[in-house]
Structure 1
């Protein structure tokens, strides 16, 4: 269906046109390791030295980078767009799953309106095209929710649901908690055949992950056990990256949750009994949110899977009320309010600075055969775009202040003939070293010297 395809492609298009990053993991856990594998140079984050991640997603990105080389695509935006194609296809699949899930509850019109509510949900537009574990895993989770919600053809539903749940975990190990909830939900519903084939589908993915880890880290499931030890058993994640109280999530949750979703509670409680049920996405989303509340290390991006599953659970109830149980004029008004609210959530969540202008400035600064080195001022390494967005094997570095060692070294090294600085930081010192302003990209200034 054309509408679902447009909704599915839109986040990937936004990510490619906008650039930037929600979190450094978007670059250094997918794009940069893929670039390193494809081209033999780049920044190798510490996780890729100790085996804390699996190579599944970076290998897919690496394959697209190799295809880009065959096609002669050398501009970072061009090969980033090529990498976005599989993710766009995954998101189209997710939108089809949203429609199918809602159609069973609210009819075809309600299904389409639910797809609009979820597809135009601000956080989905921002996250779903990003190369983050949360983004990829959530799409697979939605596919799994729809498959396991089916009551017909339990064998096929279970195999598809198990496959999608397994891939959700491969993309992000933190999603394992929702696999356990899904299996418990099937047990509670006494859907034994679906449960059996869900386990079978998940087992197939698990065997693939074990083989991948064996070939890359030398031991089956090495990355999974290393992840569990680092994030759960040892408490090292909290010690290294900090711990926060449960109240940390209060503001991002209140800002990011779609306002229309709160209507689902009274609609479910006060409507006919048949409309109220503990749906699978509701159960998974609620348990997941409770789990991350109790996890010491917290980041706003961790909320995303729970927010989307909550929106999936609420959308059919709201859609049924808006398009199926109100007059035409009221439908238009309520529909416009709901769609406006779903878009507005993206203004507040995620709360991070995407630094899209910096990434665009880096891409602009490094075009041309005469570029031999790049200095990025006022951005640490993990906030920069890596060799992926530079697109060539040249020396580059980051610094915050003119007195930093990297800045002083670059000023004395004539290979560094391009610079990008944020909000004019060290602009005077750069000009004193022979740089001249060539372009302004948002808050970023691009400079060059002969």
Structure 2
């Protein structure tokens, strides 16, 4: 590959691809959804606690299984949102926007991999990464799996170039070290990819790559120490509780082929062509395939499986498939005596149609936790000067945001199905699910209603204060007593 081939990709090309990717990701950030309860109750709540000293506390934090570094980093965009407009949704929106901006690194990595081959490869790889549903859908979500993908996948992609300076290799190592801190399960995948790279370059740059990784680990260790824990103590607790005590199994288990069904549920018939294209792309960039497959194998051996655990692998596979799309276009064009540009455009349209068919699956799966209505309901509760208690009546605790959204130091109460009735004197604002309205006192007035997962819920308020009595339904006490 000559320098002239790389130079055919212009600044304008980069601007167009990145601008399209940014527009899609900002739209995804603006349309507020939650892909998993951990997004709220482990990361946003942890970020709020880093600033305000209180939050909803789940079993992972009570058992010392989570590090403070990621929530602390996430707290800074949250603080910025509070500083700009504390009584708006900006404290939630700004972290989503920051994640969306960081996700452009995946698009940049795809474009860079393509540009190393030709301008057509740049456009196909860049556009596929810009528009594919997983990369757009996960972009604004502050999940550690997503953050690890944003660090590890571009870093491993950059290792396709064999002659980086020591400083760049140290930066790549630092990114891989941070990805490990945010998602320790990636250790085998990161390690195999790094070892393969070092083997191909006869271990040149080993010191720089290792030094950058150790610097990231030092940052993590320092964060643990400042938080009052031994360095990486949380990692030991995480391993012990999830793999030795098998606590995660209570949230569901599946066999070693479970992830195949998970991906098929999302991608459907597109799973096969994307997988074949990724395998084709691995001929050019094997490190990404090593990383993706190793991560899938590790997670397939663990009983508890969730689609989000695969997002680092899926991101790598989509980048490989994007590069191979141009290879397929070139092969197709050569057989037909046509121009590669025309074939590439047809294939990009096909990718766009495929992405559009996956969107409804995301829409169905990311609205059962926190809906726009419940987000607006908690905004309304926060706006009450006399708010003294907030309740979720008829739904488990993951039915709405916690203190990260409420941002008021008042108790939150939970009354899930099968739980005892909560004394309505404890709260003066509530989101009530169908069939539980009768548990409210006559003083409550219905203010608004909306849909959640096909069910109609309503906001009720009453004037006056709250009793302030102790209750097993207070959210943190509830979570402790239910080991949640």
- TM > 0.5: yes
Give the match's secondary structure for 1:307. Answer: helix
- Structure 1 runs (4+) deviating above 6 angstroms are none
Structure 1: gaps of 5 or more residues:
none
2:28 pairs with 1:18 = no
Give the Å deviation of 1:275.
Answer: 8.2
Give the match's secondary structure for 1:214. Answer: helix
The answer to whether the Cα contact below 8 Å between 1:268 and 1:276 also exists between their aligned partners in 2 is no
What residue number does 1:77 align with? 89
**Partner Cα distance (1:218, 1:276) in 2:** 45
- C-alpha change, 1:368 and 1:113, in structure 2 (3 Å) is farther
- C-alpha change, 1:114 and 1:419, in structure 2 (3 Å) is same
**Partner Cα distance (2:439, 2:275) in 1:** 59
Pick from 447, 450, 457 the counterpart of residue 441 of structure 1.
Answer: 450
- C-alpha change, 1:77 and 1:258, in structure 2 (3 Å) is farther
**Partner Cα distance (2:90, 2:53) in 1:** 20
Give the Å deviation of 1:231.
Answer: 3.0
What residue number does 1:96 align with? 108
Give the match's secondary structure for 1:4. Answer: helix
Q: Between Structure 1 and Structure 2, which shows a larger proportion of helix residues?
A: 1
Give the match's secondary structure for 1:442. Answer: strand
Give the match's secondary structure for 2:116. Answer: helix
What residue number does 1:399 align with? 415
The answer to whether the Cα contact below 8 Å between 2:267 and 2:358 also exists between their aligned partners in 1 is yes
Pick from 132, 139, 142 the counterpart of residue 131 of structure 1.
Answer: 142
Does 383-392 or 203-212 show the bigger shift? 383-392
**Partner Cα distance (2:222, 2:357) in 1:** 43
What residue number does 1:50 align with? 63
Give the Å deviation of 1:373.
Answer: 2.3
- C-alpha change, 1:225 and 1:331, in structure 2 (3 Å) is same
Give the Å deviation of 1:381.
Answer: 2.0
**Partner Cα distance (2:282, 2:462) in 1:** 67
Give the match's secondary structure for 2:292. Answer: helix
RMSD of aligned residue pairs (Cα, Å): 2.9
TM-score after normalising by structure 1: 0.87
Pick from 270, 276, 282 the counterpart of residue 283 of structure 2.
Answer: 276
The answer to whether the Cα contact below 8 Å between 2:390 and 2:428 also exists between their aligned partners in 1 is yes
**Partner Cα distance (2:24, 2:181) in 1:** 24
2:296 pairs with 1:296 = no
The answer to whether the Cα contact below 8 Å between 1:375 and 1:419 also exists between their aligned partners in 2 is yes
Give the Å deviation of 1:378.
Answer: 2.9
Pick from 351, 358, 367 the counterpart of residue 338 of structure 1.
Answer: 351
Pick from 184, 189, 201 the counterpart of residue 195 of structure 2.
Answer: 184
Give the Å deviation of 1:241.
Answer: 3.6
What residue number does 2:229 align with? 218
- C-alpha change, 1:158 and 1:324, in structure 2 (3 Å) is farther
* Superposition pairs of residues 390-429 of structure 1, within 5 angstroms: 390-401=406-417, 404-405=419-420, 407-409=421-423, 411-413=424-426, 416-422=427-433, 424-429=434-439
- C-alpha change, 1:172 and 1:268, in structure 2 (3 Å) is closer
